[in-house]
Amino acid sequence: MSEVYAPRGWGKVAETAGAWLLALIWIAPLAYAVWTAFHPSEFSTRFELFAPLTLDNFKRAWEAAPFARYFLNTFLLVTGVLACQLVLCTLAAFAFARYEFPGATVVFALVLAQLMIMPDVLIVENYKTMSRLGVLDSIPAIGLPYVASAFGIFLLRQTFKMVPKELDDAARVEGASPMQVLWRVYVPLGRPVYIAYGLVSVSYHWNNFLWPLIVTNSVESRPLTVGLQVFSSTDQGIDWAIICAATLMTSAPLLIGFLLFQRQFVQSFMRAGIK
């Protein structure tokens, strides 16, 4: 930001105060959940500075539901989806960026349609498809509709288009096959975009809820989000401390990752957003 319009004096004080106030409001729900999860339940609604700390809520939540299994499911889902997305989107993006074929614009428009019509909107039909394929209630069923990602194809296509044609030609003159060119020239140059896309994809699928809720119904395939919902809605005599502990556990890996790599995280989101 240029210095000429930077706030000064009282203006700066007011701006800082406003920004801090909003930040406090924004972080309050999370701060509250952390407080509740680490204190005995009688302190859920009573705030005393020296209330005893405890890990008991986490222990009880962990024992009350198969969270280990849910973690494993979510981990398998997120890594599996990302791996398939990276391969498929790279291939498709390369085709769109470097080959001219009849109807390319129409095909690309068909791909972009998914940006508007996400699989979440077509839950009824996609459920029928999964049922016909006989894969209901499995981890692949959660991931399949998202594997061919219009967003990923679009993002990588933009990146690949910026690779200088001379670099491509030089590699081909050296006798490299198209796949070798893709692997040795394009993919390394697209690294920052891959990281950005990876973060977006991981956080999306870690947090996704509606489709996994519909397509799974057993502990063996349920991801964390669905597990958490089952846990907090069947719990009789609501104990907020335990629900907060379970909530934090569910979000912890992403949250810790975000706190550690805050800078890269935010910047990769920025990069992913710039068209």
Partner 1 sequence: MLGPSLALLILFTHWPAVNTLIDSVYSTPRPRRPSRFVGPANFEQMMADPIFWQAMWNNLWFALGTIPTSIALALLMAVWVNDRIAGRTLVRMAYFTPTVLPMIAVANIWLFFYTPQYGLLAQILGAFGITGPNWLGSNETALFAVTVVAVWKEAGFFMIFYLAALQTISPSLAEAAALEGASRWTYFRRIQFPLLMPTTLFVLVNAVIGAFRTIDHIFVMTRGGPDNATALLLFYIYQVGFSFWDTGYAAALTVVLLALLGLLALIQYGVLERRVHYR
Kindly identify the residues of this chain, within the stretch 223-252, that bind partner 1 according to CB under 8 A: 224-225, 228-229, 232-233, 240, 243-244, 247-248, 250-251
**Shortest reach from residue 229's CB to partner 1, in Å:** 6
Interface with partner 1 in residues 62-101 (CB under 8 A): 88-89, 91-92, 94-96
Closest to partner 1 by CB, 68 vs 124, is: 124
Stretch that binds partner 1, among 23-31, 55-63, 166-174, 189-197 (CB under 8 A): 23-31
List the one residue from 33, 72, 187, 189 that touches partner 1 (CB under 8 A).
33
Cα–Cα dist 150/119, whole Å: 11
From the centroid of its chain, how far is CA 122? Answer: 20
Among 53, 55, 83, 110, binds partner 1 (CB under 8 A): 110
Return the ∠ at Cα 104 (arms to 99 and 107), rounded to 5°.
130
Instruction: Among 106, 124, 166, 236, indicate the residue that binds partner 1 (CB under 8 A).
Output: 124
| Closest CB 163 distance from partner 1, rounded Å | 16
Q: Which of 53, 109, 113, 260 binds partner 1 (CB under 8 A)?
A: 113
Does position 22 interact with partner 1 (CB under 8 A)? The reply is yes
* 120 lies in the binding site for partner 1 (CB under 8 A): yes
Residue 140-179 contact track with partner 1, rule CB under 8 A, x = bound: ----xx-xx-x--x--------------------------
1 binds partner 1 per the rule CB under 8 A: yes
Per DSSP, the residues of 229-272 read HHHHHH-SS--HHHHHHHHHHHHHHHHHHHHHTHHHHHHHHHHH
Cα-to-chain-centroid distance, residue 24: 25
Distance (Å, whole) CA 39 – CA 222: 29
Task: Check residue 114 for interaction with partner 1 (CB under 8 A).
Answer: yes
Q: How far apart are CA 67 and CA 238, in angstroms?
A: 19
Other C-beta atoms lying within 10 Å of the C-beta of residue 179: 10
Out of 38, 48, 121, 218, the only residue in the binding site for partner 1 (CB under 8 A) is 121
Which residues have C-beta within 8 Å of that of residue 36, sequence separation ≥ 6?
Answer: 43, 44, 57, 240, 241, 244
The three-state secondary structure class of 183 is: helix
